[in-house]
Structure 1
């Protein structure tokens, strides 16, 4: 099993048990090159058994163990996507590793398209809930003990964490939206008709990651927070076509605000 071999390799190199894992999505990877990260221990994905090199621009492909705002943290620069052809078991393997290492919580970030017309490009959104339209569930198959066979998903995104994110954003003078994230396989962007349907379902943002990770993180008993960088308006809301370059550019433009929010969230975080 990929997770078992990778866990052994990671345990051999990790300098400590992290309190918190932070997954850095498209265009949000600058934290993995921060001063704290450069002073930490960096482990390329390809050094872990079964982990492939990332294929998507904006995904660095490494784990960085470092002291970050007074916390022992592992920064995950990049992720594995279902649309790359990876099995779902690999997509969620990092969450299994963090849970087995002993991490108490995970902060998942992503680049997303905004469905809510009140939201703007470049704004950040705290995830309140999600809709899984991947067509599968990462927990299908034999149950991975000691997680429950039928885990509760009433509050996937920890309410206390959401309150803290909102308070941190207010303290920084930032606008932090709150909303529901809808997860799809990709890699094609959604059609305008699909976006209209998703708005009826109650989604505020749409993307191609995060949902499987959040499910498995909760199955592992970790608390979860989620932040989307709204890097474009979803198809049909504005007239122009969508491109990944647009996503990367919007993520880069929001990087300073994102980093400030993450630092404030981690500082003095109660776990």
Structure 2
């Protein structure tokens, strides 16, 4: 893994990617946030050594390098999921690459199912913490000390400073946001009514199939993380609606412009 990361980093540096201030992972239906980026480079995943290729509808599969304001950003237009059949190490491989390209601040976004009764479809949720119920841990196996320590402190997986900053930005832009805990399951099935109840009983506010492995690996390497989620469907004690990936994309698309404004202002202000 170490050698593969270094090979990929060297390739991307030679393409012209230098010292990004932010890494951004764009989830389901949120890929068009790249419209906020003044683009310098677009590199399809299938041209990057050792990179997987996204197979999920709505994940375009390209690395975008450019600027937002005066800040350099490196954005993944589409992420990789464990349910696609990649090893857990492969799904988080791009985060390792981002770190060695110079990224210290990681912004992750996703679409999720809400279980908090105070939430509504279309809400934007700042992730304050997570619960990891993925079947394989991204740090499973022999530790590579050059990446980070064997045992990783996760008491502040999502930066409190960044959370407070985004709350201020949302008030300034008059864009309402929720805050909550995100729980990660493997997928690709959406949750059953009983599983939604389990998620809620465990103390989560929303559930999805990504993000947590990426944040764990980012923290392994000492990165600072911020997460934002669009609530695309709701489930709970009394009500679980039928849901499809197309519906999830549709809802995420409606919230896309607001998320884009928030992230754009967030990056510009730091």
TM-score, with structure 2 as normaliser? 0.95
Structure 2 distance, partners of 1:5, 1:237, is 51
RMSD: 1.4
Structure 1: tracts of 5 or more residues without a match? none
**1:60: how far off?**
1.1
| 8 Å Cα contact 2:18/2:101 also seen in 1 | no
Mean CA deviation greater in 133-142 or 80-89:
133-142
| 8 Å Cα contact 1:42/1:64 also seen in 2 | yes
> Structure 1 residues 263, 174: CA separation in 2 closer, same or farther (over 3 Å shift)?
same
| 8 Å Cα contact 2:17/2:101 also seen in 1 | no
Specify the alignment match of 1:214 in structure 2: 215
Mean CA deviation greater in 24-33 or 176-185:
24-33
4+ aligned runs moved over 6 Å, structure 1: none
Mean CA deviation greater in 16-25 or 141-150:
141-150
**1:239: how far off?**
4.7
Structure 1 distance, partners of 2:209, 2:165, is 26
**1:133: how far off?**
0.4
**Counterpart of 2:269 in 1: which secondary structure?**
coil
The superposition leaves residues 165-208 of structure 1 with CA deviations (integer Å, 9 ceiling, x where unpaired) of 11111111111111000001100111111111111110000000
The superposition leaves residues 36-78 of structure 1 with CA deviations (integer Å, 9 ceiling, x where unpaired) of 13xx111111111222331111101011110112201001100
Specify the alignment match of 1:230 in structure 2: 231
> Structure 1 residues 239, 207: CA separation in 2 closer, same or farther (over 3 Å shift)?
closer
| 8 Å Cα contact 2:37/2:68 also seen in 1 | no
| 8 Å Cα contact 2:65/2:73 also seen in 1 | yes
| 8 Å Cα contact 1:45/1:63 also seen in 2 | yes
Structure 2 distance, partners of 1:28, 1:109, is 8
Superposed, which structure 2 residues align to 1:184-199 within 5 Å?
Answer: 184-199=185-200
Structure 1 distance, partners of 2:222, 2:52, is 26
Superposed, which structure 2 residues align to 1:27-42 within 5 Å?
Answer: 27-34=29-36, 36-37=38-39, 40-42=40-42
| 8 Å Cα contact 1:189/1:235 also seen in 2 | no
| 8 Å Cα contact 1:113/1:206 also seen in 2 | yes
Aligned length in residues? 267
Specify the alignment match of 2:244 in structure 1: 243
| 8 Å Cα contact 1:117/1:237 also seen in 2 | no
Structure 2 distance, partners of 1:15, 1:214, is 22
**Counterpart of 1:145 in 2: which secondary structure?**
coil
Structure 2 distance, partners of 1:110, 1:169, is 18
Structure 1 distance, partners of 2:238, 2:98, is 38
Specify the alignment match of 1:145 in structure 2: 145
Specify the alignment match of 2:19 in structure 1: 17
Superposed, which structure 2 residues align to 1:167-206 within 5 Å?
Answer: 167-206=168-207
**1:240: how far off?**
3.0
Structure 2 distance, partners of 1:52, 1:206, is 24
| 8 Å Cα contact 1:130/1:181 also seen in 2 | yes
Specify the alignment match of 1:54 in structure 2: 54
Structure 2: tracts of 5 or more residues without a match? none
Mean CA deviation greater in 26-35 or 245-254:
26-35
TM-score, with structure 1 as normaliser? 0.94
Specify the alignment match of 1:91 in structure 2: 91
